[in-house]
A and B are shown apart, each in its own frame.
Chain A
Amino acid sequence: MTADPDPPPAESTSDAALVIAVARGRQEALAALWRRHGGVVHGLARRLLRRDDLAEDVSQEVFLSLWRHPERFDPQRGSLRTFLLTTCHRRAVDVIRAEEARRNRELREQLQAPVPTVELEQAFADAAVAELVRHALGQLPVEERRAIELAYWGGHTYQEVARLLEQPEGTVKSRIRAGMRRLRELMATADSEGVAT
């Protein structure tokens, strides 16, 4: 008996089913996941690294990692998109930190420049989820917002953020945690009120 050629996965196939297929070597399943999530992964990498070549390298690594280690994705701990973006962010931060000279230069620049609020808002302008995020970020106390932005978008440790903001490390640590909790609540509230829809 001859097996039929594997058909392309349906667009409605769940992420979990596609990861199962990836674990069994189905390249078209990885291609489907790339079509579904490649854009946001690449977008995050570009936003963090600000260099197309590095962003492409990181995007490639994220999906090759999923191909080679699908077992690292645990659906019980979050969605596949969250997993891919977490992987992307961590890898991009590694790249940022590995380029010590460039990072130091950027730190100096950021010490002299305002927090990139406008740029952040512009980057999010077109997507509903971006509207949700923008709305929530706008309601955060400015100290919490700046700490989160410098940590997430700048790739800085909280100790570096503390130096940038001239605040005690413990204060920054607390503000990041409080801000992230508040963001979650704000986004949940905004979502239920239809802010992003």
Chain B
Amino acid sequence: MSSTIDPMDHSNVEALLAAYALDAVTDEERRAVDDLLETSEDLRAEVADHLEVAALLGTVPDDPPAAVWDRIADQLDDPISEQVFEREPSANADAHTVQPGAADRPSEVVPMRRSSSPQLGGWRLLAVAAVALALVAVGALVARAVAPTTERDLATEAVTAAAEPGARTWELLGDDDRRLATVVLRADGEGILVADDLPPLDAARTYQLWALAGPDGSVPISLGVLGANPAAAAFTAETPVAGMALSIEARGGAVAPADGPIAVAVAE
């Protein structure tokens, strides 16, 4: 027997929130809760709290057989239209704008090593010229200091932005191919850097993000000073960008990079 629920009876539906988080409701009740959640941020927050507790209940460490991953890997190239679930976790599933076509993967990501890539020659050769060009370019490519906000907000925004039409992503790799940071640039020039593995600097130094502009992407233009221990940062670029670079500068930043970048990524 399953009780019939009146979706208009909000108090009755609201009483189901914890059971909903435990998957202890009928499909009809789930739909009623889903509808109610659309109307209230407070109720969504309560469900998020219950889901967090449920996840802790469900934390049962295990060592899955290697064959499970092998089976997953075997299917990663299958057509995207092949659906796995008929039902999805709606409480954490309906707010994103990343398109399923994101999996079509027209990748513009070109991770590059710092020390051996030919583009670095261009960087170094034009480093002196960049001092002058950076000053001239201020009117053409307006960089502003990164806007401080929470890492979580920006990480969320970066996930969404990465799959938007026209968005580009660069992965900034260190010497040992560790990914130091991921940079997402929207088509409108708004961008986000998410630090993956940036070691904290002493207080006298700062990370600085650079756009690589110019016809061959060899002119570094500052996009912002990130501080000594950045987690995530937003920036704006107002001219075509060929790539991204990251450097370490004296506190306060530099008009042009004083030394070589610690990471460079250039899109083809």
- A177 and B19 contact, CB distance less than 8 A: yes
- Contact: A133 with B57, CB < 8 Å? yes
Contact B197 A12 (CB under 8 A): yes
Q: Residue B60 at the A interface, CB < 8 A? A: yes
Residue A103 interfacial (CB < 8 Å): no
The A-contacting residues of B in range 75-118, CB under 8 angstroms, are 75-76, 80, 82-85, 87-89, 91-100, 102-103, 105, 107, 109-113, 117-118
Q: A180 contacts which chain B residues (CB < 8 A)?
A: 18, 21-22, 49-50, 53-54
Contact with B along A26-68 (1 / 0, CB 8 A): 0100110010001111111011000010001001110111011
| Residue pair A77, B68 in contact (C-beta under 8 Å) | no
**Contact residue among A9, A52, A78 (Cβ-Cβ distance under 8 Å from B92):** A78
Could you tell me the distance in whole angstroms from the C-beta of A50 to the nearest C-beta in chain B?
12
- For B69, the chain A residues whose CB sits under 8 A away are 31, 34, 38
Q: Is the CB of B76 within 8 A of A177?
A: no
Choose one: B24, B89, B99; the contact of A151 (CB below 8 Å): B24
- A residues in contact with B85, CB < 8 Å: 61, 65, 91
* In the complex, chain B residues 165-203 whose Cβ is within 8 Å of any chain A Cβ: 169, 171, 173, 177-179, 182, 184, 194, 196-197
Per-residue CB contact flags for chain A residues 1-35 toward chain B (1 = under 8 Å, else 0) read 10110111110111011011101110100110010
Chain A residues 135 to 159 lying within 8 A of chain B, measured CB to CB, are: 148, 151-152, 155-159
Is B111 a contact partner of A3 (Cβ separation < 8 A)? yes
Q: Nearest Cβ in chain B — how far from A51, in angstroms?
A: 13
Residues of A within 8 A of B63 (CB): 39, 42
Q: Are B55 and A86 in touch, CB under 8 angstroms?
A: yes
- The interface residues of chain A lying within 8 Å CB-to-CB of B75 are 60, 64
Nearest A-chain residue to B231, judged by Cβ: A14
Q: Does B89 lie within 8 Å of A158, measured CB to CB?
A: no
Q: Is the CB of B64 within 8 A of A173?
A: no
> Is the Cβ of B92 less than 8 Å from the Cβ of A77?
yes
Q: Which of B132-140, B150-158, B206-214, B251-259 contacts A (4 or more CB under 8 A)?
A: B150-158
> Which residues of chain B have C-beta atoms less than 8 A from A78's C-beta?
48, 51-52, 55, 92
Check B23 against A183 for contact (C-beta < 8 Å): no
B65 in the interface, Cβ–Cβ < 8 Å? yes
A102 within 8 A of B: no
Contacts of A64 in B (CB 8 A): 72, 75-76, 84
Residues of A within 8 Å of B92, CB to CB, are 72-74, 77-78, 82-83, 86
Given known A42-B68, A61-B84, contact A75–B177 (CB-CB < 8 A): no
**Which residues from chain B contact A94 at a C-beta distance below 8 Å?**
87
Q: Does any Cβ of A come within 8 Å of B248's Cβ?
A: no
* Residue-wise interface mask of A (100-139) relative to B, using a CB-CB cutoff of 8 A (1 in contact, 0 not): 0000000000000000000000011011011011000000
Known: A77-B44, A85-B54, A93-B23. 9 other contacts (CB 8 A): A3-B109, A3-B111, A7-B173, A25-B105, A40-B59, A82-B92, A86-B21, A177-B15, A187-B56
> Can you list 15 A-B contacts with CB-CB less than 8 angstroms, sorted by A residue number?
A4-B113, A17-B158, A20-B182, A23-B159, A24-B102, A24-B163, A56-B64, A60-B75, A64-B75, A72-B96, A76-B153, A78-B51, A152-B58, A158-B16, A177-B19
The 8 closest A-B pairs by CB, nearest first: A43-B62, A25-B105, A71-B98, A43-B60, A42-B64, A16-B155, A151-B24, A7-B177
